[in-house]
Every structure is written in structure tokens, then in C-alpha cells.
Structure 1
Amino acid sequence: MFKGLGGLGDMAGMMKKAQEMQTKMGEMQDGLADIHVTGESGAGLVKATATAKGDLIALDIDPSIFQPDEKEMVEDLILAAIKDAQSRASDKSREEMMKMAEQMGLPPGMKLPF
């Protein structure tokens, strides 16, 4: 009559694991704000720094590129540096997610969040 109740313990364990994973996921998301990556363009003339969450936090432009007749080139370099920083931020975030999944014993290649 109570044969099916044996699985409730497993279900409780799974729920506990899910809550732990949710907590760890939140901590990892918060930690991404503390990880900084730098993208650059123009052989380092323009550098953009972002958090692993993708938030732009700094922009460094070498003053030698400020020529009035090269405004479009400077704009292109700035955009390229920002895109590079955002790409690196995305890669770093994905790397951190994979580390967390590994620590939790999830199969390789399983993407988080579900």
C-alpha cells in the first residue's frame, strides 16, 4: 500500500540539490560582477574593460588617435574594443558556468541555467 512512498526520499534529496544549485548559481552570478575582462582594438590603442556579466566599466583611449580627420576610425576602434570586451565577458561567464556544473557533478556539456 505504501510501496510508492519509498521514492519520496529521493524526491526530497533532488529538491535539496536543486535548492543548493540555485543558491550556487546566484552566488556565481554575483561573482561575475567581480571578474573583469579587457577587450582591445587598434593594437591596444583602445581598450574596453567589462565585468564577466558584460557591463562596461572602463574605456582607455590612447590620445595619439585623436585626429579630427580620423573621427570615424576612432569610433570604429571604440566599438571594436567594446565588442571584444563583451565577447570575452561572455566567454568568461560560460567558463564559470562550466566550472560550477563540473563541481556539482553534472555531465560535461550540460548548459546552465537549464
Structure 2
Amino acid sequence: MVMGLTTGLWVSAQIRLCDRAFIPAAVVRRGDPDVGTVLLKINRFEAGVTVFTQTSTLDDEPSWSRGTGPSPVTEPEADAYIARQVARDPDLWVLEIEDRKGEYKINGKIV
């Protein structure tokens, strides 16, 4: 589950929030609709791409970590990271958000 919801419902909600804010978003890969883990691919175009991985804190609070490192990477590097993660976890969801202006707010703490 993501943030207390089924994964499919949470992803649908993110798509809807992005749609309302005029931020393009698409499900690149569907995983398990109930308990799949989510990767958020935030594409800032000239500013680079960051892939966030769903995780939790020591207090079991939902959070996100920068799977591609502290600095944005190129899109091919981000896609290679995603491909490696998908190979390890067939239930993985990938949500790509094209956020040129940096307006998308991740729901949860970034660790």
C-alpha cells in the first residue's frame, strides 16, 4: 500500500492531482494494484530527471528516497535505473510526471 491506500488508487489520485494542476503525468508501468511499490519519475527536462523510490522511515511513516542519487540525472540514466528495479520487482509501478516548472509536490517525507 502507498500512504494508506491501495497502490492503484494512490496512483490514480496522483494522476488526477497532476491533471488538475496542468502537469502531464502518465502511468508508464502498472504493477500489483493492491500492494505494488511505486517509482516516481520526475522529469524536469533541462533540469534533469529524478526517480523517487517508495520507502518508509524508522517510525514506519511513508517516505521517498532519491533512487537516482542526490542530483538529477539524464533521462537515459533514469530509465536504466527503472529497468534494473523492474527486473527485481515485477509488481512495481512507474509513474512519470513531466514537471518542467517544479510544481509537483511529493506526498510524504523525502529521506
* Larger strand percent: 2
TM-score band by shorter chain is under 0.3
Looking at both structures, which has the greater relative contact order when contacts are Cα pairs under 8 Å and sequence separation is at least 6? 2
TM value normalised by structure 2: 0.24
Q: Which protein shows a greater Rg?
A: 1
TM value normalised by structure 1: 0.24
* Larger helix percent: 1
